[in-house]
Structure 1
Amino acid sequence: MVKIYNLYIFNNAGTLLHYAEWNRTKQSGITREHEAKLMYGMLFSIKSTNKYALHFYETPTGTKFVLNTDSTAGKMTEFLKNLNSQIFVEYAVKNPMVDLSQPIKNDLFSAKLDAFIKGSSLYVS
């Protein structure tokens, strides 16, 4: 079981498409937009610490998924691939009402993402 803290989804231009959090107990003290810009900028320099692990998956189209978990998590690549194919593609890419050049504001997408994370055998609250 892994504690999942938060998830960022960026498009290929670096726009934050979606952000969600689950077990995050400490806030950064900066705006979500500023935090997302910092996360995007640090993707290639930050890996993990003894407090958390950062997991990264990039699709062939350039969509980037960044998942922060506790440090006990193993590889999360398959988990992120499944999140992409089962949630992002099905409820964002295939939805004509979702503009993938803008942040996703879709309740169904958010609900399906939350259910996917919380329904995973990896998730612990």
Structure 2
Amino acid sequence: MALTVGMVSIDSTDPVPLARWWAEQLGGNIIQENGGFFVVVSLGEAAPRLGFQKVGDPTPGKNRIHLDLTADDVEAEVDRLVAAGATRVAEHEMPGFSWVTLADPDGNQFCVAPGHEG
């Protein structure tokens, strides 16, 4: 069996601006808007796509799936994301690894950690 991640979908009450925000932050492009009901962002040939689906009432509480992003300079990237509208939620550290949890403009949490070599 060979499965491939084709898309990660995110619920939103207003998916178009959220898709635009993520496309801008990740250097992607909106490739489908589907009347604002389901917006697709491409991050390049090899990367999974992000889908933003219109829902009347998003699931309450912490999102059960989140993006784990990496950056060479975590603090600079976190500062950039906050300036663009993200909210810093928490900083985490464990032996040999640290990361920052943020929330996008809709409140969906995601993490930024140092990139890994090799």
What TM-score does the superposition give when structure 1 sets the normalisation length? 0.26
- As a proportion of its length, which structure holds more helix? 1
Q: Greater relative contact order (Cα 8 A, min sep 6): structure 1 or 2?
A: 1
Larger Cα-atom Rg:
2
What TM-score does the superposition give when structure 2 sets the normalisation length? 0.27
